[in-house]
Amino acid sequence: MSFNTKKCHILSISRQRLRPVSAYKIGPDHLTAVDSYPYLGVTISSDLRWNIHINNVCARATRTLNFIRRNTYKCPPDSKSLAFTSLVRPHLEYASGAWDPHTAKNVNNLEMVQRRAARFVKNDYRRTTSASSLVDGLGWSTLSSRRKSSRLCSFYKAYNRLSPISLDHLAQPSRSTRSTADGSCFLTLSSHTDVFKFSFFPRTIVEWNALSSSQRLKSTVDAFRDGLHSQ
């Protein structure tokens, strides 16, 4: 098997400003060092922050939204809404459990794409009209709440061994108390950096523990998801 050295790079993950980069070679060719690179559709940066990835996601979703606007501007609102939810929103949510942002800037950048879509669907570009009210009127949940539900559903599947992810070595059950007698809560993970604090497990465990016992112990994934949406 031969490797294409033009597609092979070195990505050093470190918090240090001057990251040590070793020299690697494949055959006679030296590999180049990069600060970020896409992997399975997710752009991973050397500092494990998601600014570059989210900028790419917003740009890709905006291009698709503009394509829809050019080709469906005469369609009824229901058709426009369906086009957004089926063609644009998947770009904004692909693998979001891994990169769900916590900074206001990144959260707002993602929500802005949906707000622009709501104005297009409702054909209302007046400055006096709140884009958030248009989103609510369409029955769309905020993208941040959808990402939270997605993470909790993924954790539910792992907890009930419905996914390849095992919690055995990633999360420890908390001691039983009156409020956690069912044994479904987990110890929170301490963190010293925002990168780890807002990563999947530390962040989702806190939100999981905050759910009611009846919600955590739902019998099916669909029932669990419906319970989240009804809260």
Same-domain pairing of 66 and 132: yes
pLDDT band at 231 (very low <50, low <70, confident <90, very high): low
* Token output for 221: 């994934």
Within a domain: 185: yes
Indicate whether 220 pLDDT > 90: yes
Same-domain pairing of 113 and 155: no
What is the predicted pLDDT for the residue at 180? 59
Same-domain pairing of 121 and 60: yes
Within a domain: 125: yes
Same-domain pairing of 171 and 118: no
What is the predicted pLDDT for the residue at 173? 85
Q: Crossing angle for the helix pair 221-230 and 143-159, nearest 10 degrees?
A: 150
Same-domain pairing of 61 and 21: no
Per-residue pLDDT tens digits for 50-93: 999 999 999 999 999 999 999 998 999 999 999 999 999 999 99
The Cα 88–Cα 229 span in angstroms is: 21
The Cα 223–Cα 207 span in angstroms is: 18
Domain end (from 140, 171, 204)? 140
Q: Which residues contact 132 (CB under 8 A, 6 or more apart)?
A: 115
Within a domain: 45: no
For the segment 145-172, the average pLDDT, to the nearest whole number, is 91
Q: Which domain holds residue 165?
A: 146-230
Beta partners for residue 30, in sequence order: 25
The Cα 158–Cα 152 span in angstroms is: 10
The Cα 109–Cα 55 span in angstroms is: 8
For the segment 33-62, the average pLDDT, to the nearest whole number, is 93
Give me the number of domains the chain comprises: 3
Within a domain: 208: yes
Same-domain pairing of 57 and 132: yes
Same-domain pairing of 56 and 110: yes
Same-domain pairing of 84 and 121: yes
Within a domain: 42: no
Within a domain: 163: yes
DSSP designation for 130? -
In this structure, are residues 172 and 187 in contact, taking their beta carbons and an 8 Å threshold? yes
Same-domain pairing of 125 and 158: no
What is the predicted pLDDT for the residue at 54? 97
Alpha helices in 48-193 (DSSP H): 51-72, 77-83, 89-93, 96-99, 104-122, 131-137, 143-159
* Token output for 82: 């369906």
What is the predicted pLDDT for the residue at 24? 83
Within a domain: 192: yes
Same-domain pairing of 105 and 160: no
Per-residue pLDDT tens digits for 160-203: 999 898 888 888 888 766 555 677 899 998 888 888 999 999 99
- List, as own/partner pairs, every contact residues 101-110 make where C-beta atoms lie below 8 angstroms and the sequence separation is at least 24, other chains included: 101/50, 101/54, 101/198, 102/194, 102/198, 102/203, 106/50, 106/51, 106/54, 107/144, 109/54, 109/55, 109/58, 110/54, 110/57, 110/58, 110/143, 110/144
